[in-house]
Amino acid sequence: MNELQKTICNIGVVPVIKLTNPLRDAGPLSDALCEGGVPIAEITFRAAGADEAMKIMLERHPNMLVGAGTVLTTEQVDKTIAAGGKFIVTPGLDVEIVKYCQQKGIVVFPGCTTATDYHTAYKLGLEVLKFFPAEQSGGLAKIKALSAPFSMFKVMPTGGVNLKNLADYAACPVIAACGGTYMCPDKLISEGKWNEIVDLCKKSVEIVKEARA
């Protein structure tokens, strides 16, 4: 694992975020994440202005680890790099985007859930994969089954991960970190309930710490 991947692994969770009003919400949300002990954000391109949100967060917290999620095009990779984003997450495994990220020197986590995906990822020289959608694709049982032939990978499950099953995922040595939207739900963001987001982050960090102990 490279330094960035190790940092993600140490934090243990990755909030997956959609910001429909980045100018209003990106700043206070980054404050809440940092206060909650989760100084990392995967800002998805599910809403316009993801790159703007990344810039705002990084201006406010230069040491935060900010990257892009739901990246579907190389243009979005370029926008992320221009905004100062440090990693790319894609929902599926797209060889063109992975190679483009490798050329540009930005870390990429493609979504993989099958032996075929893993095999392709192996040939691309990847070490850490997103496992998406985790629960719907067989969850921990499938992650463990795939780790038998592909023991070289660590994975970041997202999709159906929440406070209820976080401990089970985090306790598995194949897991680098767990991701999800549950830490930053749309409703809490739109209502500006930053303290509740701080609490969700703190709880998540605590669960991961205990599960790994």
> 92 vs 149, which CB is nearer to ligand 3PG?
92
| Active-site position among 79, 130, 135, 154 | 130
| Active-site position among 18, 42, 135, 154 | 42
6: annotated active-site residue: no
Closest approach of ligand 3PG to the CB of residue 159, in Å: 4
35: annotated active-site residue: no
Closest approach of ligand 3PG to the CB of residue 62, in Å: 25
Closest approach of ligand 3PG to the CB of residue 16, in Å: 4
> 147 vs 181, which CB is nearer to ligand 3PG?
181
Catalog residues that contact ligand 3PG under the rule CB under 6 A. 16, 69-70, 132, 158-161, 179-182
> 169 vs 194, which CB is nearer to ligand 3PG?
169
- DSSP labels, the chain: --HHHHHHHHH-EEEEE--S-HHHHHHHHHHHHHHTT--EEEEETTSTTHHHHHHHHHHH-TTSEEEEES--SHHHHHHHHHHT--EEEESS--HHHHHHHHHHT-EEEEB--SHHHHHHHHHTT--EEEETTTGGGTHHHHHHHHHTTTTT-EEEE-SS--TTTHHHHHTSTTBS-EEESTTS-HHHHHTT-HHHHHHHHHHHHHHHHHHH-
Residues designated catalytic: 42, 130
